[in-house]
Structure formats: structure tokens, C-alpha cells
Structure 1
Amino acid sequence: MWSLLKSKCGQVSYKRVLLKLSGEALSGQDGKILSGDFLERVSAEIKKCSDNGVQFAIVIGAGNIWRGARQNGLNIDRVRGDHMGMLATVINSLAMQDYLIKAGLKTRVMSAFEISQVCEPYSQYKAIDALDNGEAVIIPCGVGYPFFSTDTGMILRAAELKCDIVLSAKNVDGVYDKDPHIFPDAAKYERLTYEEVLRKDLKALDATASAIGKENNIKILVFALEDPFNITRAVSGENIGTIVSN
């Protein structure tokens, strides 16, 4: 699984990756809920890497649409609010599917809970089969239950699908000791262990996601998606952010 594949843009270090895209990243720089230009550029990079042998499972957040009832100032039950967030990930996933198909990459959306008229239900075996056949697989709705974060869903799917690495694309270029958008003196970490993430309370991952990642020896690269070419750089093995591992 860790074979090196030749690529027109260099060497590709990973055969199967779990790409986590934050919802905020998909809104681009223009303040829209979804940026068509940004989706097009991201899709082109994914297609380019796919053409060079990289298999993509994709998990997308929903921060561009919904950040939970509390953050939106609404008096909504937590469970219902989490369901709303999961549905928002479906919206982002369908948008990404459309752009990937237009880029020439066959793409399936497999939801963690059943929405049969919109996307097919998630199946580990069907997802692996699709990946082996060169299709991208987008998996919305986290783990399908409230009280679990999108990051937990990301790590769980990476373990199930036996991905070589999780590429966690955010609006910041790694993990810092404090919020770099607020504190100019924030220090960036090059490498972290799961234990350090928890001990330092860095908010890069929650405790559940960290436990699954540690137990299954999953490697994560946290990097910025401001430039979609960073996806190509990440699958080529460049350390363009922060590595989290055992």
C-alpha cells in the first residue's frame, strides 16, 4: 500500500488516501457558501492525482453551511442540530461529486445514513471496490450518529478503508500551539503524536478521533488548502503542514 508511483508532477508516495476537506475551505475567498472556481480547481487536482494512481476517499465538513445550533445562536436540540450538520455535509458532497464528474473522474457519494433518492448508503466493501476500480468515493454524514465529530468520521473511514494517510485540508497550514488567526506569535508544530495532541489540548482532533487514530496507527497530514496544488504536493510526500502519528 505504501508503494511509490511515478507521477508527472513528481513521485506519489501514497496509493490510497482519505482527503478531509473543511466546509470553510470550499467557500473559497469570496465569502460565498460554495465557490465554483475553487471546487473546479480542487477537482482538477484530485483528477490529476487519480490519473497517476492515487485512490481518493473524501470526507467533507459543513462549516460553510452549519456550525451547530449553539454557534448559530439557535435554541435547537443537540441531536437535531447534529442531524442538520450531517445533512449540510451531503450538500457539500453532492457539489464536489458534480465537479469531480465534470473533471472526468467517476465519483460515488455513500452516505453514513440512508438518503436513497440522493446518494447510496455507505458500505465498506462497496467503497473499497469502487476505490480499486479508480472511482472517487465521497462519504458524508460523519459516522451517521449525533455527538460524533466529522474528524471522528474521517479517522473511522480511513481505518475501515485501509488508507495510507489522512490528508486533512484546513484553512490553516498546520497545527499551532494557539490560534494563528488571533495570536501572531503562535508556533507551528512540524510533528505531533496523538498523545501530545490530547495532552496539549490542541483542538486538532477530539479525544475519540485521537483514540481511533492511535489504535489503528493512522498518519495524518494537516495542511492548508488555500492553494489546491497542495493536494498534489501532499500525495507526493511533501511535508507541507503538520504530521500527526504514533
Structure 2
Amino acid sequence: MLTASHLSLSRQGKLLLQGMNLELKPGEVTVLLGPNGAGKSSLLGLLSGQHSPDSGSVLLDEQPVAGLDPQLRACYLAMYTQQQPLSFSFRVEEVVALGCYPLQLDAVAMTERVKYYLTQFELDQLAQRQYTRLSGGEQQRVQVARVMAQVGDQCRVLLLDEPVSEMDLKYQQLLMQRIRQVAATGVAVCCVLHDLNLAAQLADQVVLLQNGQMLASGAVDEVMTESCLSDLYQVMVRKVDTETGPLFSSR
């Protein structure tokens, strides 16, 4: 379990997070929702150990995440970030292979793993293409495949910061399925999304962030109400209950 307690973070005199408490449980998907600037990416940065809080702690199975050996942390925790500054002319298969390095696989096992994740995200036909020449949506699929390739037997936590922002509907649904499959193996997943309908489809737990603070936390039916979402986004949100689950729209 990943446990964050009383996290606070400031940058250049601006308070980004204040008094944040969160538990990511094995086998559960937690979705973070909130407007731009609410603190979602900042929170993931603290959860991953990439950044240190001004106060509070982040523990993975009672061990400080930031204090873990980098190699071990890469095995325990995989993260997809919004910014993927890769300017080298790597082939697609080489980018996906980067996710395998923390697992310390032999050449045969790495090749098989790369092929598997290329297939999983329908990237087979792009394997020899230069990454920098792909469309934004294709690059995002490659980076997601890279992060998923990092999720090995030791992985405890998967963090995803807006992983579907440039994907079309087909690949959004494909990724939602893959995330659920990862969670089913006992990995704790935390995902930042902006699409309310995808969030309702994916989440076991939803956390609403506003101005660096937690507005609400709980199950989809408890938290994703018209009242809470309208307050969160400062726009009227309508919820329609259907046989396949809730649907949301703004008005």
C-alpha cells in the first residue's frame, strides 16, 4: 500500500498542495479529478518520490518512497508523466524497451516483452519507425506501452498522469482495459483524468482536488455527484444513470 500523509508543497511562494492524505490500495484504481492547476500532477510527483514535500510523508509498505534505491524504486513503481521529452531518433521498439531496463531481463526475455507490449497497444506496424516522426497520439501510445512494460512482478504502484489526452476513442478504451488488468494483479493504480465518463468507468476510488486541497474522496457513486462536480469545475454538470453506468455532461 502507498500511503501519503499530511502532504504540503509550495513552489516560488505558491501553495500547490496542503494537508493531503491519500491511500492507494493493492488492486484498486484511484482516479484524480480536478481543474487545471488543482495539484494533480504535483501530487503524483510526490507519490512517485520524484519530488520532496515541504511537509508530510509518502510510504510504500511503510518505507519512505524517496529513500528507496533508484533501481528498486523503478521496480516497485512505474509512472507515466505528461511531459515526455525524447528528441533522439529512437525506433519505437527501442523506446518501449526502455521500460524493461529496471527489470534486468536477459536479451531474449526483453525482446519477447517488447514484442508483447507492442502487440498489446497495436504498435507492431510502427516498431521500426522513428519515434520523433510519429503523431502525438502515436507517441502517447508508445510511451504508455513503455511504462506498462516496466510493470513487472515486483511492481506495487502504477501512476498515470493524463495518459489518454491525445488518444482516439479506440485506444482510450484499450488503455482502460489494460489498466484494469494491471490492477487485477494486485497493483495499486492512480490515474489523472479529465474525462468524467472515463473516470466513472475506470475508478474504484475518486479523489476531487481543488486549489491544492482534497474536496472529496470515495466511491464513484458517493463522490461523482452533480453537486460535487459542479462545485469542482464551476460549471453545471448533469449526471444521467444508465444500465451501463453513469454518464456526465456539462450544461
Instruction: State TM-score, norm by structure 1.
Output: 0.31
More relative contact order, 1 or 2 (CA 8 Å, 6+ apart): 2
Structure in which a larger fraction of residues adopt strand: 2
